[in-house]
Every structure is written in C-alpha cells, then in structure tokens.
C-alpha cells in the first residue's frame, strides 16, 4: 500500500472500522439468536420455534431493498460521504435501543415488535454501509491499489462477524453481558460517524457533479425545474445485462451462509447433541479460518487479476458446493460437519475480490443505487428462500433437497461472472 497517499490510507481506515462495527452489531443478534429469541419472543412448540428462528433471521433482510432504494438515492444525490455517516448513525441508535430493551417477560409483545423494528433498521443501515464504503474506495483509488483496498472492507466485514461470534460465545458462557456488547458497538459507531466527517467527497462523484453544475451554468437553465438529471445527455445509459449479471453473482452467498452457520447449527444441536455454547464455539472456529483466508486473498489480489482469481475459484468451488448435500449424508460427527462448514466457507461464490471491477461498469449517478439495490434484493430473496425453503426441502427430500437451491445459484454465478470477464476483455481490446 506504499502507493497510496495519506488521504487514501485514512479513508481506508475510517471506512473499514465502520464496516467492522456495522457487521459486528448486525451479526451479534444472528449468532446470539438462540439466547435472544427466548428473551424477546414467546416460546412455542418445536416446529413453530424453527419458523420463529427463521423469521428473526430473515427479517433483517426483508426490508433491505427499501433501505437500498432510500440510501442508494441519497448516495447518488447528496454524495457518498454524507451517506456513510447517516448509515453509521442509524446503526448506533438501534444498538442503544436494543441494549436497553426490556424482555418479553417484562413488557410482552411490545418487546418482540421493538426488537424486530431495530433489526429492520440495522439491516437497512448495513446495506448502505458496506456498499457505501466499497463505492467510496472504488472512486477514490486507482487500480491496482483499489483491489486490496476494497477487499480489506470484506476482511473487516468478516472480522465483525467473527468478533460477534466471540462475544456471543463468552456471553452465553455468562462471562460477558450481551447488553454490554450492544453498548460497545453503539458507542464506537457514534465515534466512527464523527470520524467520517473528515472524509471528503470522492473525486469521481465530485467531478461529475461539477460537470452538471457547469452545464447548468453554460445553458443558463434551472437544474431542478428542467430536470436535467433525467435528460439522456446527462444520465448515462444503464446496461441491463450488467445489472442482471451482477444480481446473479450476488445470489450464492446467502444460501451458503445459511447452510454454514444456521442449518449446520441446527444439525449440531439436533443430530449430535451439541450445547449452544459448543455450537457457537465451532462456528467461531469456522469464521476465524474464513477470516484468515479472506485476509490472504486481500494480500494476493494486488498481484493477481481479480477476475482470473474468481474464474479459477469457480472451477473448484462450484463442484464442491454441488457435492456438499451428498457429503452431509455421510457425516457422523460434529467435527466432520465442521470440515464441511470450513470448505463451504472457503468455496463461497461472491464478488470479492473483483468488486471494484463490477462497480465501475455502472454509471456514477446510478452506481450507488444499482449496486445497493441489487445487493439488497438478492440477500432478501435468497435469505427468505433459504430460511423457510430449507426447512421444507430437508423435511421432504433430505439433504439432497438442497440441490434445488444450490444448482441454480452456481449456474447463475457462472453466467454472471463470465459475462463480466467477456466485458472486460472487450474493454482491453478497445471494442467498448
């Protein structure tokens, strides 16, 4: 990173810390759901409890598309800097509320509604947080330095989830109060939102805004009355194929994440008799290994073309993902399941570390909204399908029922990835 100036390094640090905190706060509830669901929701029969667990997990993602449209439009209108400050503030407020929220036993159904609303706002703010940080760095730093810079955001995201597992582990062991964890996240988030005020707007967005201002001045028109932003000579054309391909690339992660941490946790408890503490401990090991792998890729991506890396990974990871339902039929120990969890986490088909390449294929004044909305819709759709669909697929078809989800997402990812590979090839040849 010696090729980066002080401002760029400062931006990476501030945005990465914010992303870490956002995903620490977001995933803390997910990994502590076995404890917190009992505190904030009424207890039902076993099957109803499974549906309740699925609901509490996916509710965070259901409203993400709405948040993506709101936050995305803010990012494309008022700027990237202001938007990342807003998202951090929303997360800190929701954490303060959750840290002080009375339980179901104390105030009844009001506790359920309050925690659900907080989870909705957490999901909406985390949407703009990650994409906002990635878009900001994509527009601030040039290749090849931009690849490890944006990839480091994913490292901090993974680190946030890993730390959430660590805190959940010691909280359930009664060594640390879960409310204190939300307080820590809230306090640091507030500090982070103030630190982000020192950031300046990205050069790409600022220059594009200046060009429109100059155009307005030269033509002597009112920018808002004439609706200049809607004119074809100002608004760049959006490629539908690029949007659809990016959407396909996003579909894999939610399904695999659910299999690794939610479905596997249920197996560990129901099939192998693991305690809640043992389940969280195993998930922490899996997440830690994934963190190390993500950090290693971040270091290597400066030297390796990100799209070539994803192409190679697809050839190895795709077949393993499709083979995982068959492997689940033969596991007989919790350690065997942990090996599958680890291999699945290393086989995740995601946009990392080629995120800047994908983002650059979208127009500046539509980039934040498009990427944010695509990310949100894919997560909401697939988390809902995974949360409820897997329950019934396993019930009627066993582990092989997972192929109904895994086959389409692997195929879709391949179609999306190779579209962008061909697109970049045309750019290199000067055909676009």
DSSP secondary structure of 236-264: PPPPHHHHHHHHHHHTHHHHHHIIIIIIH
**pTM for this structure?**
0.83
Distance (Å, whole) CA 346 – CA 294: 9
DSSP string, 276-314: HHHHHHHHHHHHHHHHHHHHHHHHHTTTS-HHHHHHHHH
The answer to whether 393 and 404 are in contact (CB under 8 A) is: yes
CA 69, 70, 71: angle at the middle one, nearest 5?
Answer: 95
Distance (Å, whole) CA 129 – CA 375: 12
CATH topology of domain 6-201+236-428: Growth Hormone; Chain: A; (1.20.1250)
Phi then psi dihedrals of residue 45, to 5 deg: -70, 175
Distance (Å, whole) CA 117 – CA 382: 21
How does pLDDT run along the chain (432 residues), one tens digit per residue? 567 888 888 888 888 877 887 778 777 777 676 667 777 776 665 555 555 556 666 666 777 788 888 888 888 888 888 888 888 788 778 878 888 888 877 887 788 788 878 878 877 777 777 888 898 899 989 988 999 999 998 898 888 888 887 877 777 666 667 787 778 777 777 777 777 777 788 877 778 777 766 766 666 555 444 454 444 434 567 889 999 999 999 999 989 988 998 889 888 988 899 887 788 889 889 989 999 999 999 999 988 999 999 999 999 999 999 999 999 988 989 999 999 999 999 999 999 999 999 999 998 888 888 998 898 889 888 888 887 788 888 888 988 999 999 999 999 999 999 999 999 998 888 776
* Residues near 255 by beta carbon (within 8 Å), at least 6 away in sequence: 382, 385, 386, 405, 406, 409
Indicate the domain borders of the chain: 6-201+236-428, 204-235
* Residues near 326 by beta carbon (within 8 Å), at least 6 away in sequence: 399, 400
The answer to whether 88 and 125 are in contact (CB under 8 A) is: yes
């Amino acid at each position: 990173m010696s090729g980066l100036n002080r401002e760029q390094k400062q931006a990476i640090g501030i945005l990465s810390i914010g992303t870490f905190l956002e995903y620490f706060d977001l995933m803390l509830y997910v990994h502590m759901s076995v404890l917190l669901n009992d505190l904030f929701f009424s207890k039902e029969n076993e099957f109803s409890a499974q549906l309740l667990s699925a609901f509490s997990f996916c509710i965070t993602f259901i409203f993400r598309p709405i948040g993506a449209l709101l936050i995305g439009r803010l990012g494309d209108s008022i700027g990237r800097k202001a938007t990342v400050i807003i998202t951090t503030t929303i997360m800190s407020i929701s954490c303060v509320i959750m840290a002080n929220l009375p339980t179901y036993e104390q105030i009844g159904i009001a506790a359920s509604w309050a925690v659900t609303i907080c989870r909705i706002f957490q999901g909406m703010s985390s949407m703009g947080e990650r994409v906002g940080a990635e878009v900001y760095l994509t527009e601030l730093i040039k290749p090849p330095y931009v690849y490890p810079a944006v990839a480091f955001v994913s490292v901090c995201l993974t680190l946030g989830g890993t730390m959430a597992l660590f805190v959940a582990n010691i909280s359930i062991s009664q060594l640390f109060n879960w409310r204190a964890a939300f307080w820590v996240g809230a306090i640091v988030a507030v500090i982070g939102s103030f630190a982000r005020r020192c950031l300046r707007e990205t050069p790409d967005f600022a220059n594009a805004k200046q060009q429109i201002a100059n155009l307005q001045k030269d033509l002597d028109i009112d920018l808002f009355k004439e609706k200049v932003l809607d004119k074809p000579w100002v608004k760049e054309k959006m490629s539908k194929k690029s949007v659809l391909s990016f959407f396909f690339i996003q579909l894999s992660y939610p399904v695999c994440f659910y299999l690794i941490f939610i479905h596997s946790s249920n197996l560990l408890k129901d099939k192998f008799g693991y305690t809640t503490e043992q389940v969280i401990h195993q998930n922490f090991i899996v997440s830690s290994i994934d963190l190390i792998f993500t950090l290693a890729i971040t270091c290597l991506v400066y030297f390796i073309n990100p799209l070539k890396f994803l192409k190679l990974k697809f050839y190895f990871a795709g077949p393993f993902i499709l083979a995982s339902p068959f492997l689940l039929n033969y596991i007989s120990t919790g350690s065997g399941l942990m090996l599958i969890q680890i291999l699945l986490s290393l086989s995740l088909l995601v946009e990392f570390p080629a995120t800047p390449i994908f983002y650059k294929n979208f127009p500046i004044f539509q980039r934040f909204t498009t990427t944010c909305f695509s990310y949100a819709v894919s997560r909401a759709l697939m988390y809902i399908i995974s949360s409820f669909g897997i329950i019934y697929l396993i019930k009627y078809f066993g582990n092989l029922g997972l192929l109904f989800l895994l086959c389409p997402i692997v195929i879709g990812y391949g179609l999306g990835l190779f579209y962008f590979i061909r697109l970049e090839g045309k750019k290199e040849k000067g055909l676009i």
